[in-house]
Structure 1
Amino acid sequence: MSEAPVSRGVYKFAVFALAIGAFAIGVTEFATMGLLPMIAEELGITVPQAGHAVSFYAIGVVVGAPLITTIAAHMDRKLLLLCMMGLFALGNLASMLAPTAGLFNIARFVSGLPHGAYLGIGAVVAASLVPVNRRGRAMSRVMLGLTIANIFGVPFAAALGNMLGWRSAYALVAALGVLTVIMVAIAVPRVSVGAGEVPSARGEIKALGRVQIILTLVAGSVGFGGMFAVYAYITPTMTDVAGVPEVAIPWVLAVYGLGMTAGSLIAGPLVDKSIERSATGGMILSALVLAAFGAFTHIAAIAIIALFLIGISGSMITTALQMRLFRESHDAPSLSAAMNHAAFNLANALGAWLGGIVITAGLGYRAPAWVGVGLCLAGLIVISIAIFLRRGGSPDPSTRTSVET
């Protein structure tokens, strides 16, 4: 890492540059879901088939996060950030230009490859620029780009797509990627990794073989998929079932973003009190809210309120599982952080895929919500097993930290 904390001005500029990249990633991850009907119409496919693009992006994250993190473990961090964001920009440019559904899916896969590694390494770089007692705050400020993306960026991309066509949204994201490359090149100090600062790839992979880590990742991959089963098809659901005008969809997406933000604020104190209760509580709340969404989607006001609550429960789940993974994998920090992003994007792929299956089967746009309930309950079972095993067994003392449960 860098030799010493930098000046406050340099730190703020660097974090801002890194947060722009997180903002761009947040926009591209969720914007596709608000543009599916337009994408489907122009490419001559069904909405569930267009939803495959969501899954391809998520699979790109699942593949890229551990692969890039492992291969580039000793690479200069600034250079790695520039390369990843350059690849991100190219992937989104290819998405904008794709003439067929197949090429569009490939472009989305490429766009997802740098997602997890950029966010993980960007947060670590930000933390390296400040004293130890301010590193958590530095990392959270980089991640703030994701939250702001869901409140402002995704709705704006949806509105831009409605006005200028869906390709304009990917042009916007590609431009943000190029801007991030420029900003990181100017603002972020050179950060290299010394030989003794990074565990070996073999050591990190071995650490990830622990039962608690595996169960936590599986719980995230399954349980968080409930939210994506609904959100992947939120535009046609709200327009066709709830009767919301298409021009109002950006505002609906903003409601979800506000729910995520509120959930992040709520989750912090709850996780500080109990990681385990926050994880199980988030899963239960998500299942209940998804059931309400499925039952009352035809009432626009209730559907929108439920979407806000889905955002809250989603943030509770991600925060709790992130902290649980951090606690259980303190000696495998780089790869576990990457795999955490991979797990949640696997949930993205799983939810979108299963939601598309029930829609294609003729069960309608309410059906993904019930799929989501099932996924949340499955995730609840997995995390409950993990908690039971941890309390009933005798964990390796090396896995214990000062983080209370």
Structure 2
Amino acid sequence: MPQTQGVPHISLRHLKALAYVARHKNLTRAAKELNRSQTAITKAIGELETQFEIPLFERSPAGMKPTLCGEKLAHWVELAEAEFRAAGASYQNIKVDVKDASKLSVFSMSISYKRLASFIALYDHRDTKIAAQHLGVTRAAISGAVRELEDLLELSLFERDTNGIHCSPFCLQLARHLKLAFAHLRHGIDDIASLDGVTYGTVAVGTLPYTRTVLIPRAMNRVLKSHPQLEVSTTEGRYAQLEVALRSGDLDFIVGATRPLGDEKELVTETLFEDRLAVIVRTGHPLTKQEKVTLGDLQHYRWILPARNTPARLLFDRELSQDHLPRPEHTIETSSLSTVRGLLLESDSVALLSEHQIYFDKLYGVLTALPIALNHTYRPIGVTMRVHSHLSPAAQLFLEQLRQVAQEMPKQ
């Protein structure tokens, strides 16, 4: 089987040939549209079937009908081809003197995957040494492949200065489309591998602070219990960083407090449930001995808060405004739950968190929530995905489990 991690080790020209034969169900018409010989197309299909060790077409005098595996793979290849075309359209906008950008090998899927792999590795790491180590090649191979690509496009993709390697505007667009294209191809490989009744593949999840204690771990445990052959990877970070990874196909979705999307056309959110923030302290904190506690009672305590302009922080600021209270001074800002826990356990500080985030701390009696109802801090917790996102079977399984776990979460 070809590799499913990173850039698939399959000829892009062969995959495109498969998609066209599946579309026309006729070798002659596919060869004519691709401007290739029937012999070349036949050879391409044969090599793919050898690589996958499965028949992709049923051959008869009436034509070539794709098998279920062939049909599945062709679907994902067509999605990948659309990303190559979109990259070509972006290139055409800046290279108006080029007659037909879609015919360039980089946009017509006629280029070697190795050259594109070098480009993507350098884009991801911004360092030729690390990119070379990632692909198991020499630095010269990375530089040579990227230089050939730049020569083909007749423009610079990377700029180098004393501060490192920087991407040109078109480099950012090209990388995004290519990474999405290769994500589709990886999903296609996983999809046909799953047709024997066992779902294979990797789920890539971006996690925001709220989800890392219960929601994500519980969903992971459940999906891996029933599908132990799956691989799940999580990426932690700020929303802006995760959004970039989501848009380029490095993540299947982001799970956490959702953001208002406004006129956003490329992303969509699905709300799983709403949650309210709470004031968290250590067990034995002086305020736990009071029968009634108000926000005003906390003015002289040091606050541990999320970063400015995050949804939780904005809701907290609104809560203070509703109660006509000043914003706390000398705060500590962190999204690290382990850091918050350490600070709370060794001081009388107070923290703004969800009770879900301290689920196990409450269970073991080390942290608790003060009896203060922050009624203006409800926020939607959900999944952010690409519009018309084509999830792999593995990602779809994980999403279904997330929805189930979310339904069981206690309401605050």
Would the TM-score normalized by the shorter structure come out above 0.5?
no
TM-score of the two chains, using structure 2 as the length reference: 0.25
Say which structure is richer in strand.
Answer: 2
Say which structure is richer in helix.
Answer: 1
Q: Which has the higher contact order (CA 8 A, sep 6+)?
A: 1
TM-score of the two chains, using structure 1 as the length reference: 0.26
Larger radius of gyration: 2
